[in-house]
Amino acid sequence: MAVRNIAVTDTLETFRTEFNALALNDMGDIATLSGAISATNLVGAMNETISIATSSAGFTIEDSSSTQQIVGGGDILRVFGTSNEIEAVVSATDTLTIGLPSAVSITTSVTAPTVTGGSIQITGNTITATDSTAISFGSENVITTGNITGANITGTGTTHTLGTIQISGNTISSTDSTAMIIDDNVSLSSGKTLTLDKISSANTFIDFGAINLSTDGHYYTATTGTGGFIFEGATPDSSETSLYAIDPTADRTIALPDESGTIITTGSTDAITESMMGTDSIGQNELKTLVTLQILNSSGTVLKTLYGAGA
C-alpha cells in the first residue's frame, strides 16, 4: 500500500480517483467488516479490536494514580525491586512473587494500628513484648528529654546512675562527691530506724545547718555558731533553751545519772530541798573548810565537838 499524494497541479479527476482508491483499497470496505466488530468507524473499530485482543491475549495494568497500560501479546511486564525496599521474583509457571527483603529501608514513614517486629509490638503509644518477656536495649544508651515513669526501675548491673546520683546495691551516693540534697519531707514508716554510721570518726560530721528537727511535737535546731542545740520546747515561740559546750581544753566527760529529776545549775534559786541532802548530820567530811568548837569539862576532857564552815 503506497502513500497516496495529490499535488496542487493535479486535476479534480485525479483527486477523485485517489480518494476512492484510499477509501476502497487502503481503508477497506465497511461492508466486509467482521460481525464481531460493532463499530462503524476506523477509530472505533481499532479500539474495539484492542479490547478483544487484550481480553484474550493480554491485560491492562493500572497504578494508584489511575494511569493504565495495556500489556498484550509479545509485550513484557517488568517489575524491578528497589534495594532494601521490595523484591520481585519471576518463576514458572507464569508466577510473579513480590515481597520484602530481610532488611527493609523506608524513606518516609510507616503507619499501622499495630507494628510487630520479632516479639516486639508497637500499638499506639505502647511498646510490649508478645512473649511477655522483658524488653532489652542491650548495652545501648537510652536518651529522653521527657519523663521516665514505671512501677519499678531495675537493672542487671551492680551500680546504676541517674544524673549524678549513683545507686550501688543498698548504697546511694553522688558521682561528683558533692552533697546530695533532698528538697522535700522525709518520712520513715512505723517501726523503721534511721541509723547514722561512723559518727564517732574524727573526720565525719553530721551538719544540719539551720534546719529544724522535730520529734513528738518538740522542736530542736542545730546551731553551728555555738556547736550546740537550741530547744524550742513543746510550744514553738520566741523563747528557747540553748545547750552547748564551752570550748574544752582537754577531753571532758559529763555523765547524766540514772535517775529522774531536774538539773541544778548555778542559776538555780531555792532549788535544793532536804531530800537532796546526803545525810541528816553534818560532820567534818561534809565541809570544804572546817572550824571546830570543843566543849571541855573541868579536867580538860572534850565532851562535845561542833563543826562549822570556815570563814
State pLDDT tens for residues 195-217.
766 545 555 555 655 556 666 55
pLDDT of residue 250: 93
pLDDT of residue 52: 67
pLDDT tens-digit profile of 23-79? 666 666 677 776 667 777 777 877 877 776 666 666 778 888 888 887 776 777 888
Instruction: Read off the pLDDT of each residue in 106-112 and give the average, rounded to a whole number.
Output: 83
pLDDT of residue 134: 83
Query: Who has greater pLDDT, 29 or 264?
Result: 264
pLDDT of residue 255: 92
pLDDT of residue 167: 87
pLDDT tens-digit profile of 115-164? 888 899 999 888 999 888 888 888 888 888 888 887 777 666 778 888 88
User: Which are the contacts of 57, defined by CB distance < 8 A and separation ≥ 6?
Assistant: 72, 73
How many C-beta atoms lie closer than 10 Å to residue 232's C-beta?
A: 19
Output the 3-class SS for the chain.
Answer: CCCCCCCCCCCHHHHHHHHHHHHHHHCCCHHHCCCCCCCCCHHHHHHHHHHHHHHHHCEEEECCCCCEEEECCCCCCCCCCCCCCCEEEEECCCEEEEECCCCCCCCCCCCCCEEEECCEEEECCEEEECCCCCCCCCCCCCCCCCCCCCCCCCCCCCEEEECCEEEECCEEEECCCCCCCCCCCCCCCCCCCCCCCCCCCCCCCCCCCCCEEEECCEEEEECCCCCCEEEEECCCCCCCEEECCCCCCCCCCCCCCCCCCCCCCCCCCCCCCHHHCCCCCCCHHHCCCEEEEEEECCCCCEEEEEEEECC
Q: Is the pLDDT of residue 218 over 60?
A: no
φ, ψ dihedrals at 66, nearest 5°? 70, 15
Instruction: Read off the pLDDT of each residue in 159-173 and give the average, rounded to a whole number.
Output: 84
pLDDT of residue 2: 61
Q: Is the pLDDT of residue 18 over 60?
A: yes
Q: How confident is the model at residue 252 (pLDDT cuts 50, 70, 90)?
A: very high
Q: Which three cell numbers stand for residue 308?
A: 562549822
pLDDT of residue 253: 94
pLDDT of residue 249: 93
pLDDT of residue 24: 67
pLDDT tens-digit profile of 226-238? 667 777 777 777 8
pLDDT of residue 281: 65
User: Which are the contacts of 231, defined by CB distance < 8 A and separation ≥ 6?
Assistant: 218, 219, 220, 240, 241, 242, 243
